[in-house]
Structure 1
Amino acid sequence: MFSKTARPVAWPLFIYYFFFCALIGVMMPYISVYYKSIGLSASEIGWLMSTFTLSGILIPYFWGWLTTKIGLPKRVLQLATLGCFVALVPFNWNKDFQTLFILTCGMALFYSAMLPMTDALAVRSIRTLDVPYTRIRVGGSMGYVFAVAIAGFLIGQFGAAVVIPAMCTCLLLAVITTFFVHEQAYEKTTAKESVSFFSVLLTPESLLFFGLAFLAFMSHAPFNVFFAVHLENHGYSGSNIGLIMALGVIIEIILFMFFGNMIYRFHIFHLVSLSFLCGILRWALVGWFADVLWVLLFTQLLHCITFALFHMVSIEQIRRLFPERIAGQGQAMYSAFAIGLGGGLGMVITGYIWEWLGGSWAFTAASLVSASALLVLFLSQRR
């Protein structure tokens, strides 16, 4: 999988992605089940879950700035991972909403830094190695699928009480893994020699990229929030829904594993256009033909293009647009503006559309967002 010279650098990053995304695989699907089991109301659960999205809007800027300031991305990643673990441990003994909300805010402070800092460190660490970023990132997809399956089995056997210990285990293993990650400190530069982050951010190409990324994650909001509910409304059982959702991640793994260098063979305009074209088709089909199984399976195959391919292109764009020393801030901006604000705003809008017009129109709106992004892309090229 990795060459002999790349293994000492690549494997620790691969394993870290595995355990971090395993944390997500336990937390996102199942922590609401745990909250419900300890008597929290739906509105209280909503407040707790929204904290992670809201923290992703502003907090990553601080971590990006800190990484740039001290020039030691590995140390910042260790601090964020350890802080997240320390904040999570008291969840085992606290069950009232007010305390959990404070603990969640503390955890979100560190959690929001982990993925953008890992992406920035991975891209920097492999820049001199013949290893595509996606071959390392696939460790996260594997960890997510593994955790979803194992956590579901454990909950069935022992109840929802296993959720928090399982999350703690994933984070503890991630903390241990950070000690094996190779540190590559940034070179010292003077203030006059260093490039301003905002001068790069405000270039037309950067603004276009972040605008398209914002729309891309906004279009995925109905899928991230209501896909399982939409399928349940069309008569699918819980086990079938799980298998259908797993299919998309498996295809994502295949893309990350074997087609990581593909993005260098095509023009970025064509790759992004393909991503939004597939988004238009995917969300329209999910909205109006979810009761047809083969159509639904086809839409899950498109996941590797609408999400995985776009994410691959985004990481490469950040590497290309932002100089090495401010790459962490560029990655933080991507996480905050696109994933945090774009995804969060999309979730809020989706909720209202779902209540007013129903699930089919919520996914139709996602299709229209993809169409709007494609239009913006074409107009930018003409200009």
Structure 2
Amino acid sequence: MFPARSSSIAWPLFGYFFFFSSLTGSMAPYISMYYKSLDLSGSEIGRIMALLTLSTIVVPHFWGWLTTRLGLPKLTLQIATGCTLLAVLPFYFAQGYETFWVLTLLLALSYSALVPLADSFAIRSIKGLGIPYTRIRAGGSLGYIFAVTLTGFIIAKVGVNAIVPMMILAIIIAFATTFLLKEKPIPLEMDKQVGSFWSLFKIKEVRFFLLLSFLSYMAHAPFNVFMALHLSNAGYSGDEIGLLISFGVVMEIVLFLFFGNLLKRYSVVYVVALCFGLGIARWLLVGWYVDSLWVVLLTQLTHCVTFALFHMVSIDQVNRLFPEKYAAQGQAMYSSLAVGLGGGLGMVIAGYIWELMGGPTAFTFAAIISAIALVTLIAHQRR
């Protein structure tokens, strides 16, 4: 999978992505079920979960600044992972909305930085080695599948109380894995950034890319918060939910491993249009026909397009739109406005819709956002 000359760098990176994504796989799809078992309402669950993404508006800028100041990306990643571990531990003893809100806020201050820190660390580490980023990223997808499937089976056996211990175990191993990573110090005199956040934001193409990314993450918000609960309400067992969610990520891995050069062959406009067009169908079908196993399987099959393919486009666009001296600012801008603001706002709105009008309407909201994104893309091309 990796050439012998680069295996000492690639495999530890692959392992780190595997285990920190295992934390996400044991938490993101199932924690709403755990909160529901503690009698939290849909809007309360939405507000708690939104903290993890809304914090991305600010948090990546701090960790990017810290990386620049220290000049040691591995050390920064270790600190963020260790803080995440410390923040997860109290979840085992917590009760009540207010307590979980505070704990999630503390968790968000480090957890929401792990993806941008790991992405930038990986891209910098494999530079010149001939290893596609998507092959490293596949480790995260495999870890997510492993955790989603295993946690689903354990929930089916012992109940939702197994969710938090699974989260703790995953982040402990992820933290241990950071000690195997190869540090590549940043020459501080070369890392000084020129310009500012707003100077980048003034570029028209950058603004349009960020707008589409914002809409994409907003459209995925109901899925990220309520998919497991939506399936549970439809009568699916814990192990069935785990397998169904894992199926979507398996398709994601196939895309990452075998279609990494897809963007070189097709216009990015058509690829993004496909992502949003399939998104409309996916959210409507899963919202209103979740009782049909075949419909759920079909919608999970499209996960490799609506999420994974769009993620590939995003990484490619960040690398293309931002020169190397602006790389840290570009990654922070993307994380802030797309992942943070788009995903977080979508979670809050989805939580209220879920509570007031139910699951099908919450996923219809996602379809509407996808439609708005597609219309925006088409209108932009006709100018």
Q: Normalising by the residue count of structure 1, what TM-score does the alignment of the two structures yield?
A: 0.88
> What residue number does 1:54 align with?
54
Q: What are structure 1's unaligned runs of at least 5 residues?
A: none
Contact 1:73/1:121, CA 8 A, preserved across alignment: yes
> What residue number does 1:118 align with?
118
Contact 2:29/2:224, CA 8 A, preserved across alignment: no
* Aligned equivalents of 2:196, 2:311: Cα separation in 1: 25
Q: Tell me whether 238-247 or 250-259 shows the greater mean CA deviation.
A: 238-247
Contact 2:30/2:229, CA 8 A, preserved across alignment: no
- Alignment partner of 2:261: what SS? helix
> What residue number does 2:254 align with?
254
Q: 1:315, CA displacement in angstroms?
A: 1.1
* Aligned equivalents of 2:97, 2:187: Cα separation in 1: 46
Counterpart of 1:253, as a letter, is: I
* Aligned equivalents of 1:91, 1:363: Cα separation in 2: 28
> What residue number does 1:146 align with?
146
- Alignment partner of 2:28: what SS? helix
Query: For 1:95-110, what aligned pairs fall within 5 Å after superposition?
Result: 95=95, 101-110=101-110
> What residue number does 1:275 align with?
275
Query: For 1:1-383, what aligned pairs fall within 5 Å after superposition?
Result: 1-32=1-32, 41-42=40-41, 48-92=48-92, 95=95, 101-157=101-157, 160-189=160-189, 194-232=194-232, 234=234, 236-355=236-355, 357-383=357-383
Q: 1:74, CA displacement in angstroms?
A: 1.8
Pair 280,179 (structure 1): closer, same or farther in 2 beyond 3 Å: same
Cα deviation per residue 1:268-311 (whole Å; 9 max; x = unaligned)?
Answer: 22221221121122223333444444333222211100000000
Pair 78,300 (structure 1): closer, same or farther in 2 beyond 3 Å: same
Cα deviation per residue 1:64-108 (whole Å; 9 max; x = unaligned)?
Answer: 232234433222111111111223334445557655544433222
Q: Tell me whether 101-110 or 123-132 shows the greater mean CA deviation.
A: 101-110
Contact 2:28/2:224, CA 8 A, preserved across alignment: no
* Aligned equivalents of 1:130, 1:242: Cα separation in 2: 34
Counterpart of 1:372, as a letter, is: I
Counterpart of 1:263, as a letter, is: L
Cα deviation per residue 1:237-282 (whole Å; 9 max; x = unaligned)?
Answer: 5544433222211111111121122222222222212211211222
Contact 2:191/2:325, CA 8 A, preserved across alignment: no
* Aligned equivalents of 1:193, 1:60: Cα separation in 2: 16
Q: Tell me whether 104-113 or 206-215 shows the greater mean CA deviation.
A: 104-113
Q: 1:379, CA displacement in angstroms?
A: 2.6
Q: Tell me whether 284-293 or 312-321 shows the greater mean CA deviation.
A: 284-293
Contact 1:119/1:331, CA 8 A, preserved across alignment: no
* Aligned equivalents of 2:190, 2:130: Cα separation in 1: 31
Pair 347,51 (structure 1): closer, same or farther in 2 beyond 3 Å: closer
Q: Tell me whether 356-365 or 277-286 shows the greater mean CA deviation.
A: 356-365
Pair 287,89 (structure 1): closer, same or farther in 2 beyond 3 Å: closer
* Aligned equivalents of 1:234, 1:153: Cα separation in 2: 18
Contact 2:255/2:304, CA 8 A, preserved across alignment: yes
Q: 1:171, CA displacement in angstroms?
A: 1.6
Contact 2:29/2:226, CA 8 A, preserved across alignment: no
Pair 321,376 (structure 1): closer, same or farther in 2 beyond 3 Å: same
- Alignment partner of 2:4: what SS? coil
Pair 63,326 (structure 1): closer, same or farther in 2 beyond 3 Å: farther
Cα deviation per residue 1:6-31 (whole Å; 9 max; x = unaligned)?
Answer: 21221111110111011112222444
Contact 1:117/1:332, CA 8 A, preserved across alignment: no
* Aligned equivalents of 2:193, 2:105: Cα separation in 1: 37
- Alignment partner of 2:186: what SS? coil
* Aligned equivalents of 1:359, 1:88: Cα separation in 2: 28
Between the aligned residues of both structures, percent identity stands at 53
* Aligned equivalents of 1:365, 1:36: Cα separation in 2: 22
Pair 280,354 (structure 1): closer, same or farther in 2 beyond 3 Å: same
Counterpart of 1:342, as a letter, is: G
Q: What are structure 2's unaligned runs of at least 5 residues?
A: none
Contact 2:84/2:111, CA 8 A, preserved across alignment: yes
* Aligned equivalents of 1:48, 1:381: Cα separation in 2: 38
* Aligned equivalents of 1:372, 1:279: Cα separation in 2: 11
Q: Normalising by the residue count of structure 2, what TM-score does the alignment of the two structures yield?
A: 0.88
Please report the RMSD computed on the Cα atoms of aligned residues, expressed in angstroms: 2.9
- Alignment partner of 1:2: what SS? coil
Q: 1:137, CA displacement in angstroms?
A: 0.8
